[in-house]
């Protein structure tokens, strides 16, 4: 995984907007797979995750969750 850039929310949005031109996204399920040969994990929620440690107001990551119940 060396030299791979993390997926940004903007890149994900651009991808979804592009494929929405050809597909009804309301019928498309989101899965996570570690690689192409692994089992799928259903993503059920998206939430804000981490904020910049200096100003504590700049969102720096989002998370995709299977189980959003509180621990």
Look up the pTM and report it. 0.81
36 Rama sector, left if φ>0, alpha if ψ -120 to 50, beta otherwise: alpha
The closest of 29, 23, 50, 49 to 41, measured between CA atoms, is 29
Q: What pLDDT sits at residue 1?
A: 56
- Extract the tokens encoding 15: 């991808």
- Read off the pLDDT of each residue in 40-53 and give the average, rounded to a whole number: 96
Q: Please tell me the predicted confidence (pLDDT) of residue 61.
A: 97
What is the predicted pLDDT for the residue at 70? 79
pLDDT digits (tens, 9 = 90+) for 3-43: 889 999 999 999 999 999 999 999 999 999 999 999 999 99
What residue spans of the chain are helical by DSSP H? 9-20
From CA 42, how far away is CA 55, in angstroms rounded?
33
């Amino acid at each position: 995984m060396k030299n791979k850039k993390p997926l940004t929310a903007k890149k994900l949005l651009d991808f979804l907007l592009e494929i929405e031109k050809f597909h009804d996204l309301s019928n498309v399920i989101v899965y996570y797979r570690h690689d192409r040969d692994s089992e799928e994990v259903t993503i059920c929620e998206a939430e804000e995750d981490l904020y910049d440690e200096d100003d504590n107001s700049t969102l720096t990551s989002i998370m995709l969750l299977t189980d959003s119940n509180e621990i």
